[in-house]
Structure 1
Amino acid sequence: MRKHILAAVQAHAAAEYPRECCGLLLAVGRKQVYFPCENVATEPTEEFRIAAEQYAEAEDRGQVIGIVHSHPDATSRPSPRDLAMCEATGLPWHILSWPEGDLRTITPTGETALLGRPFVHGAWDCWQVCADWYQREWGLDFPAYAREDGWWEQADNPSLYEQLYEQAGFYQVDRPQRGDMIVMAVGRTVHPNHAGIYLDADPALPGESASVFGPGPFLLHHLYGRPSEIIVFGGPWLDRTRLMLRHRAAR
């Protein structure tokens, strides 16, 4: 990071302390500039969020080439959420510990393992492990669906899986085959709130090994608060099933 930008980030971190500061690194012509943003997170001492309107304002001024935030009274080590959101945005993330002043940059790898990833709602969650499987196995790309944590708990909230599956290219089936998405209702929920990929009797994932036992069928899923995993699909999981969905690109 260039010295004048680092100085601007440090000044922003000092002004916002003990809140997390946040901003965007922009390329404006041949120059790089720091665009400070307001942290609109509910708990700004623990996390940050940039309003969509302010992000759009930054894009009007230049190309966004990085995301910046501070870790007040903590190291610059990225949290699981930092790692997940870096992958989700596809941009470098610059993390400044404050007041220590250590700067660390993380970059997206584009190949986060499907198994064992920590749960971060909106970035590494049940929908994302499904979307990543489809991208790696079938080359499908889906738009970034905004989803607030707990959207499934209120009847007046949209039922995201039920309302969006058709426009995403899925249709309902009665019997699953490998690659179908299984949508379930887990816990106290108003709407179906969980999904996984039906793997039939073969739990193999390219380049990854899973410790699963039983004759199958198997399901790749990412349960709230747990690492992503492959389980035997049946019993209570079958009872929780609300939709079996097949994509038009099914092979």
Structure 2
Amino acid sequence: MPRYALKIEYDGRPFAGWQAQADQPSVQAAVETALAALDPGFADGMRIAAAGRTDAGVHATGQVAHADLTKEWDTFRLSEALNWHLKPAPVAVVSAARVPDDFHARFSAVGRRYTFRLIARRAPVTHDRGRVWQVLNPLDADAMREGAAHLLGQHDFTTFRSTMCQAQSPVKTLDAIEIEEVALPHGAEFRFHLAARSFLHNQVRSIVGTLERVGAGSWPPERVADALAAQDRSACGPVCPPQGLYLTGVDYPVEPFRE
């Protein structure tokens, strides 16, 4: 059975997350339903695997999943056919690629990239409602960058880990965290770009929520280091809501997709 990798984009608002659930809509179920419409053999209890199980309300521009089909497909035709059957769900296959049988969307990945979008202004957001986290107070980007620097490298991230996290170890290596500031009418958007081999459950949202407190002036930047060293969930700042979070890319030893 040929294996295909799918690069998937979706608006997470209508879904209870990536993972298929019996009584709630999921991105996984939407893609699997589209695949079953193309390949009747796929409908016989087969599943797809993804690089990351995003939570309810979380979006993606670069999620990767793989599927085993019963026939060979031209990859362009496969993505076009899937997008036809995905309508009207806010899910799109932006690229498809034939991959080796030992490729696994989750276990073959060597890096994941997330972006969190935060808008700071008094006026309500309109076009980006449901796609960003909005705060009313202005934020100091330099202070947030100073606080973020304490998180780079390998650490025990227990403080920034959900109590429901199922990872075997809280030790992770944060390879990069960049904070981009974009001017808006009467405010600013802050984009937090984070990269690591893998992340703990709620790690990105916990980090951004903590850094927002630094940017607002409620925390000095060095308190981020103290919170990390505490290895205590109660030392974390607020966990920000999911709607500003995007899975933007997954890295593999050999890039499966060709532009």
When normalised by structure 2's length, the TM-score is 0.25
When normalised by structure 1's length, the TM-score is 0.25
Q: When you count strand as a share of all residues, which structure comes out higher?
A: 2
Structure of higher CA gyration radius: 1
